[in-house]
Amino acid sequence: MFALLMAAQFKSISSTNLPPKDDQDLRLAMEEMQKANYFTFVMLLNMLPLDPKFLANVTFLMPNDRMLSKTVIPDNAFSSFLHRHSIPSPLIFEHLLYIPTGSVLPSLMPEYLMNVSNGGGRRTFVLNNVKIISPNICTVGSSIRCHGIDGVLNPESNISLHTCSNTMVPVPPPPSLVAPPPLLPPPPPSPVPFFSSPEDDFPVPAPLPADSSQHISGSSKLSLQFKSISSTNLPPKDDQDLRLAMEEMQKANYFTFVMLLNMLPLDPKFLANVTFLMPNDRMLSKTVIPDNAFSSFLHRHSIPSPLIFEHLLYIPTGSVLPSLMPEYLMNVSNGGGRRTFVLNNVKIISPNICTVGSSIRCHGIDGVLNPESNISLHTCSNTMVPVPPPPSLVAPPPLLPPPPPSPVPFFSSPEDDFPVPAPLPADSSQHISGSSKLSLGRKMLKSMATILVPLMIGVSI
């Protein structure tokens, strides 16, 4: 009963502010979250249909990207996840410090309460199982506040509405509605930097078992070719390669992409023989993925064969790569190097992030692949250049004989731009006309005369 009264108090506090006319405060808060590198939390907000409870009069408690990448959130549960990490009143950190230990804070999730342990300073203010480590990230808007926390709130609260004591201290309203309290002395300095985020050692939860015997279905000759290439590898017995790849993604700070993989029920197509194309956290935080579309998003960003970047460079411009999404194809523009290899509208900018496992590769890209491909299976011509398999899977082509030496004119000089014409053949006199023969005879007689006349003069003398 008392918890209901407390929740009603929060409701009355929030209702004193005018309802928002639009989502301006939420957009401002999301921009501040992005500036503080809380990209995955922003992406979760983008995945939900616009919730009126998030438009104003709310405080968000945000795990960082690394923590969220190690958290399995089922595809039908991230709405409750966000509600559990929200307080129905805009409270900056200094206001929270006035709440004494033993108080209980409500959340936007019905019947989920947070027990307060207030040590009087940063990193000593605890809600259930988490500490606030990066306070006051959202401050620009008038009715939304947010703070970074060092973990994920447990789904099951250790407090219930029926066990709240009669001596529970009521939560004060925001100071903007009451007289400002006297200033407290500043809290003692924390031994840990204010904006640091400690490395947590939460293990990656084991995904559900999957039937890895299912094969990647192809809808074109290219897909069949990739299937034949992939089938040279033995089917995986477990998800070891996927877990190794996800660890490599986390080390390279692709936390949001890992969280998307965790949100899906384990897909057999992701267990082996696949290449992931990964937008970074910042790009994904600016992408609206509906809650029923992130499966197709991941399939669109996957190639059904494990290809390192050096193998991709063998694929010529104009070739077409298939994806795990039926009938979604990627046109290749190969400039021969990093940042010049383009698939549809994106470039590969961080190649070979996943290399430890035997059958999964991944690369960072500079954007999100357009949902609509500009290529279809029905418009691909029969002369389309086939995508070559990785060089390690095929025999090298036979060496061709050396080309015959090109004829070089006899009188040519390397300095000449135009070679001197080759002399006429021996029997070329047969082709000389009669007039040419007469002219040649006259020239010979004239030459002989010029030689004989001086000789005769010399003899006579």
- Using one digit for the tens of pLDDT, what is the confidence trace for 213-255? 333 333 344 444 444 444 334 444 578 999 999 999 999 999 9
Mean pLDDT computed over 347-362? 96
**The two structure tokens encoding residue 390:** 């990785």
116: helix, strand or coil:
strand
Evaluate if residue 7 carries a pLDDT over 60.
no
Q: What is the pLDDT of residues 318-329, one digit of tens each?
A: 999 999 998 899
Count of alpha carbons within 13 angstroms of residue 282, beta-carbon side: 10
Q: Which of 315, 389, 387 has its CA nearest to residue 348?
A: 315
Residue count (the chain) = 461
Q: How confident is the model at residue 446 (pLDDT cuts 50, 70, 90)?
A: low
Q: Which pLDDT score, from 0 to 100, does residue 374 have?
A: 63
The DSSP letter of residue 343 is E
Beta strands across the sheet bearing 320-322: 302-303, 274-279, 360-365, 346-354, 341-343, 329-334, 320-322
CATH numbers and ranges of domains, the chain: 2-177 (2.30.180.10), 221-392 (2.30.180.10)
Residue whose entry in the numeric block shows the structure tokens 């008038």? 142
**The two structure tokens encoding residue 388:** 């070559």
Q: What is the pLDDT of residues 115-166, one digit of tens each?
A: 999 998 888 999 999 999 999 999 999 999 999 999 999 888 666 555 554 4
Instruction: Report whether 254 contacts 66 (CB < 8 A).
Output: no
Q: Which pLDDT score, from 0 to 100, does residue 441 have?
A: 56
Distance of alpha carbon 252 from alpha carbon 279, whole angstroms: 12
Distance of alpha carbon 234 from alpha carbon 270, whole angstroms: 14
Q: What is the pLDDT of residues 371-392, one digit of tens each?
A: 886 665 555 544 344 444 544 4
**The two structure tokens encoding residue 135:** 């306070």
Q: Which of 330, 328, 348 has its CA nearest to residue 338?
A: 348
